Structure 1
Amino acid sequence: MSDIASVSIARPLEEVAQELGRSFEEYGFAVIRDHGIPQALIDRAEAMSKAFFALPDADKRAYHIPGGGGARGYTPFGTEKAKGAEVQDLKEFWHVGRELSEGHELSQFMAPNIWPGEVEGFRATFTELYAAFEEAGGRVLEAIAIHLGLPRGFFAPTVEDGNSVMRLLRYPPLEGEDAEGAIRAAAHGDINTITLLLGAEEAGLELLTASGEWLAVDPPEGALVVNIGDMLDRLTNGKLRSTTHRVVNPTGEAAYRARYSMPFFLHFRPDYVIETLPSCIDPAAPEDHPAPISSHDFLMQRLREINLA
């Protein structure tokens, strides 16, 4: 896996921040071990995800929200496509978002969750997993802040009550002689701040290096793959890279079975203005950085580009 960082965040973050930051600058990706999400919770969530996707198509589609941009509930096959792609990705997914109290100041930006009644314990399990993802993500952001020379807690208020989304994802089994090496999710970059991915042990995730080569990401079992999203790339003026990546079908037996994963798209608050960090502006080119934009406006702009809004 080349020299993509693989670090334990159970260690003091000051000891791993520079290695993580180097990997995010060079590859936009890193592997996180000892992330604190209990394996028993992961196992339970994976079983419930598979149980939901095994339901009849009509039952799943009852949880699809037309016009909802896929933000909550079920999104069927043939909906989302990568920016610039001509065809939709081969996947179906379920989204769990933040639960806000009634009358919360940000409720206009986040729809309430919906929950399938067919899978017992679904709501409790994925509410717990959402919180665990958020805690792990917060620790990664602390390490990023240290790497950037910012106060360790710099990102905490920027993501507090952020529009983060957990996706339960299923790529169907493919058939025929062209299954091996087929593209399941076209080359794309993530919109959000950082993405934390469970389920990348199954071969197929690849990132595009700066030299233009596709590099397989092959984490140890139980580890998280973390990558930089477009929002953090924009905030750092490209210092931390939002790297193009894709999912290809592996070779051999794995090519003919379904693939499941659970990415957590950690987002800034909708009202947070993404304005280039002063330390990431080149004094020799002080105007060479993106214009400020709210994270909500940026999100909506990008969702329109990928056919979800």
Structure 2
Amino acid sequence: MSMRQVPTLDIRRYDGDRAAFVAELGAAYREFGFCCISGHGIPAALIDGAYDAFKRFFALPVDVKMKYHVPGGGGARGYTPFGVETAKDSRYPDLKEFWHIGREIPRDSRYAGIMAPNLWPAEVPGFREHGYGLYQALDRLGSRVLRALALHIGLPERWFDDKTDFGNSILRPIHYPPIERGDVPNVRAGAHEDINLITLLVGASAEGLEVLTREGRWLPITTQGDAIVVNIGDMLQRLTNHVYPSTTHRVVNPPGDGARKPRYSVPFFLHPNPDFVIDVLPSCVSADNPSRYPEPITAHGYLQQRLREIRLI
């Protein structure tokens, strides 16, 4: 029996074939918690330019990269070195280093105490231009996906708009260095679920990403063409009372010579505004699906709780 595949859907259908697109998108998320989105219109030149800038940063000497590490900052901005983040309940840290770009907000914003200014590496020309350009493009695409998801569960189309317009969202360029030994006990990214509302992963063409199906099998995901992987995070799972499941996924070490090559990926973690209250939607509660979360929690409170679990704070 062949395993089902995570579908790829063209988001341009949202404008011309809305009801069918929303139904197919909702079905994909209910089944897998994942879907691949094509036809998004983000220029390949922007994606390629961002990847090029990120690779040039990660190629810098460690002492240069460490200039951009913020001790005690929970990795919210700048550089997080290799071997720090650890998947919840894992004994071993992930085999990666990464950078965080956050939302640019006025410094007199009510969120300024939570969302720090971005850091930009002076050694890498084009890093800010391409990095924040990609941040904005994925933020816009994420809003379009959320509109379709809102319609699928009976909410107004733009229900999420004013709840994510100052979202504490993060673009995370990741570098998984070559694995030089064959007996490492850890994987590039241990089995985990994402914290946020939805995650948009651009450039998942390299093998390694795997999703845990309902049947308990690991299903590999690689994308074709311009497709971007978009998955549900724990905040949306909680908000929708598990109607949209946040699915366990991992990045495994490639076999043979593939392990000797670096891997790069760039997820965008779309978050609500920090003061948004995550409280189960009444439309997602039924006799068959009673509320699992009687206690509401703010998005910022939930984020802090989870960052402690993965040892970033």
- Residue aligning to 1:110: 115
1:190 aligns with 2:166: no
The 1:177–1:102 alpha-carbon spacing in structure 2 relative to 1, beyond 3 Å, is closer
1:33 aligns with 2:38: yes
Matches within 5 A, 1:83-98: 83-98=88-103
1:300 aligns with 2:285: no
Q: TM-score, normalised by structure 2?
A: 0.95
User: Which consecutive unaligned segments of at least 5 residues does structure 1 have?
Assistant: none
1:65 aligns with 2:67: no
- Residue aligning to 1:278: 282
- Residue aligning to 1:243: 247
Amino acid aligned to 1:40: A
Identity %: 53
**Aligned counterparts of 1:193 and 1:285: Cα–Cα separation in 2:** 20
1:228 aligns with 2:235: no
Partner secondary structure for residue 173 of structure 2? strand
- Residue aligning to 2:267: 263
Partner secondary structure for residue 49 of structure 2? helix
CA displacement at 1:291 relative to structure 2:
1.8
**Aligned counterparts of 1:297 and 1:212: Cα–Cα separation in 2:** 31
**Aligned counterparts of 1:178 and 1:87: Cα–Cα separation in 2:** 13
User: Is the contact between residue 69 and residue 78 of structure 2 (CA under 8 Å) also seen in structure 1?
Assistant: yes
- Residue aligning to 2:27: 22
**Aligned counterparts of 1:77 and 1:84: Cα–Cα separation in 2:** 19
Amino acid aligned to 1:207: V
Q: TM-score, normalised by structure 1?
A: 0.96
Partner secondary structure for residue 106 of structure 2? coil
Partner secondary structure for residue 183 of structure 1? coil
User: Is the contact between residue 188 and residue 245 of structure 1 (CA under 8 Å) also seen in structure 2?
Assistant: yes
What whole-Å deviation, never above 9, does each CA across 1:55-101 have from its counterpart, x for those lacking one? 00100011000000000000001110001111110000000000111
User: Is the contact between residue 92 and residue 171 of structure 1 (CA under 8 Å) also seen in structure 2?
Assistant: yes
1:143 aligns with 2:148: yes
**Aligned counterparts of 2:272 and 2:227: Cα–Cα separation in 1:** 24
User: Is the contact between residue 8 and residue 227 of structure 2 (CA under 8 Å) also seen in structure 1?
Assistant: no
Amino acid aligned to 1:2: R
CA displacement at 1:10 relative to structure 2:
1.4
**Aligned counterparts of 1:256 and 1:166: Cα–Cα separation in 2:** 26
**Aligned counterparts of 1:306 and 1:285: Cα–Cα separation in 2:** 29
- Residue aligning to 1:159: 164
User: Is the contact between residue 36 and residue 132 of structure 1 (CA under 8 Å) also seen in structure 2?
Assistant: no
Number of residue pairs the alignment of both structures matches: 308
